[in-house]
Protein backbone atom coordinates (compact mmCIF):
# COMPACT_ATOMS: atom_id res chain seq x y z
CA UNK A 1 0.00 0.00 0.00
CA UNK A 2 1.48 3.29 -1.06
CA UNK A 3 1.32 6.59 0.78
CA UNK A 4 -0.77 8.13 -1.99
CA UNK A 5 -3.44 5.45 -1.74
CA UNK A 6 -3.63 5.91 2.04
CA UNK A 7 -3.92 9.69 1.61
CA UNK A 8 -6.56 9.23 -1.06
CA UNK A 9 -8.54 6.90 1.17
CA UNK A 10 -8.30 9.35 4.06
CA UNK A 11 -9.40 12.18 1.77
CA UNK A 12 -12.41 10.15 0.64
CA UNK A 13 -13.41 9.50 4.26
CA UNK A 14 -13.10 13.18 5.16
CA UNK A 15 -15.17 14.10 2.09
CA UNK A 16 -17.88 11.60 3.08
CA UNK A 17 -17.97 12.96 6.64
CA UNK A 18 -18.40 16.53 5.34
CA UNK A 19 -21.22 15.46 3.00
CA UNK A 20 -23.06 13.62 5.80
CA UNK A 21 -22.59 16.64 8.08
CA UNK A 22 -24.16 18.98 5.51
CA UNK A 23 -27.05 16.59 4.82
CA UNK A 24 -27.86 16.27 8.53
CA UNK A 25 -27.56 20.02 9.02
CA UNK A 26 -29.85 20.95 6.13
CA UNK A 27 -32.23 18.12 7.01
CA UNK A 28 -32.76 19.79 10.40
CA UNK A 29 -33.07 23.28 8.87
CA UNK A 30 -35.68 22.07 6.38
CA UNK A 31 -37.65 20.29 9.12
CA UNK A 32 -37.58 23.40 11.33
CA UNK A 33 -38.99 25.34 8.39
CA UNK A 34 -41.82 22.84 7.88
CA UNK A 35 -40.39 21.21 4.75
CA UNK A 36 -39.45 17.56 4.37
CA UNK A 37 -35.99 16.85 5.75
CA UNK A 38 -35.28 14.24 3.09
CA UNK A 39 -35.16 17.08 0.55
CA UNK A 40 -31.60 17.71 1.75
CA UNK A 41 -30.40 14.59 -0.07
CA UNK A 42 -32.01 15.27 -3.46
CA UNK A 43 -29.79 17.35 -5.76
CA UNK A 44 -31.44 20.42 -7.30
CA UNK A 45 -34.59 19.82 -5.25
CA UNK A 46 -32.64 20.79 -2.12
CA UNK A 47 -31.82 24.17 -3.68
CA UNK A 48 -35.50 24.58 -4.60
CA UNK A 49 -36.52 23.87 -0.98
CA UNK A 50 -33.80 26.22 0.32
CA UNK A 51 -35.31 28.98 -1.82
CA UNK A 52 -38.75 28.18 -0.41
CA UNK A 53 -37.36 28.30 3.15
CA UNK A 54 -36.04 31.77 2.31
CA UNK A 55 -39.51 32.79 1.17
CA UNK A 56 -38.43 33.18 -2.43
CA UNK A 57 -40.22 31.69 -5.44
CA UNK A 58 -39.20 28.13 -6.24
CA UNK A 59 -38.04 29.04 -9.73
CA UNK A 60 -35.13 30.98 -8.18
CA UNK A 61 -33.23 27.68 -8.06
CA UNK A 62 -32.64 28.22 -11.80
CA UNK A 63 -30.72 31.41 -10.99
CA UNK A 64 -28.18 29.30 -9.07
CA UNK A 65 -27.11 27.80 -12.42
CA UNK A 66 -26.14 31.12 -13.99
CA UNK A 67 -22.50 32.13 -13.32
CA UNK A 68 -22.01 35.39 -11.38
CA UNK A 69 -25.77 35.64 -10.83
CA UNK A 70 -25.55 32.61 -8.53
CA UNK A 71 -23.21 34.53 -6.20
CA UNK A 72 -25.71 37.36 -5.76
CA UNK A 73 -28.69 35.02 -5.46
CA UNK A 74 -26.81 32.88 -2.94
CA UNK A 75 -26.24 35.94 -0.76
CA UNK A 76 -29.86 37.07 -1.02
CA UNK A 77 -31.25 33.64 -0.21
CA UNK A 78 -28.88 33.13 2.73
CA UNK A 79 -29.80 36.52 4.20
CA UNK A 80 -33.51 35.74 3.74
CA UNK A 81 -33.09 32.35 5.45
CA UNK A 82 -31.35 34.07 8.36
CA UNK A 83 -34.19 36.59 8.63
CA UNK A 84 -36.77 33.79 8.63
CA UNK A 85 -34.96 32.35 11.64
CA UNK A 86 -34.95 35.80 13.35
CA UNK A 87 -31.22 36.29 12.74
CA UNK A 88 -29.46 39.42 11.55
CA UNK A 89 -28.24 40.32 8.08
CA UNK A 90 -24.69 39.79 9.36
CA UNK A 91 -25.66 36.24 10.33
CA UNK A 92 -27.06 35.79 6.82
CA UNK A 93 -23.76 36.90 5.30
CA UNK A 94 -22.04 34.40 7.58
CA UNK A 95 -24.48 31.74 6.44
CA UNK A 96 -23.58 32.56 2.86
CA UNK A 97 -19.80 32.71 3.25
CA UNK A 98 -19.22 30.32 6.17
CA UNK A 99 -22.12 27.91 5.99
CA UNK A 100 -20.13 25.15 7.73
CA UNK A 101 -20.26 27.30 10.88
CA UNK A 102 -23.57 29.17 10.60
CA UNK A 103 -25.84 26.44 9.16
CA UNK A 104 -25.31 24.14 12.18
CA UNK A 105 -26.13 27.08 14.45
CA UNK A 106 -29.52 27.32 12.74
CA UNK A 107 -30.00 23.56 12.64
CA UNK A 108 -29.00 22.62 16.16
CA UNK A 109 -29.55 25.88 18.02
CA UNK A 110 -32.70 27.33 19.47
CA UNK A 111 -33.60 29.42 16.41
CA UNK A 112 -37.21 29.01 15.32
CA UNK A 113 -38.59 29.53 11.85
CA UNK A 114 -41.19 32.16 11.07
CA UNK A 115 -43.14 32.48 7.80
CA UNK A 116 -42.85 36.24 8.08
CA UNK A 117 -39.42 37.81 8.13
**Tens digit of pLDDT for each residue in 16-55?**
999 999 999 999 999 999 999 999 999 999 999 999 999 9
pLDDT of residue 115: 87
Q: Are 106 and 30 in contact (CB under 8 A)?
A: no
Element (H, E) at 52: helix 45-53
Q: What residue segments make up the domains of the chain, in order of their start?
A: 3-108
Which one, of 91, 94, 96, lies nearest residue 117 by Cα? 91
CA–chain centroid gap for 76, Å, is 13
Max CA pair span of the chain: 57
- What is the average pLDDT across 50-75? 95
pLDDT in tens, 70-91: 999 999 999 999 999 999 999 9
At 117, the pLDDT band (50, 70, 90 cuts) reads low
Amino acid sequence: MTASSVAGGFGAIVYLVVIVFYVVTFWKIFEKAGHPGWAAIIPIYNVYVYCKVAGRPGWWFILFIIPIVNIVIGAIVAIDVARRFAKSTAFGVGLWLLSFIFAPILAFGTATYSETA
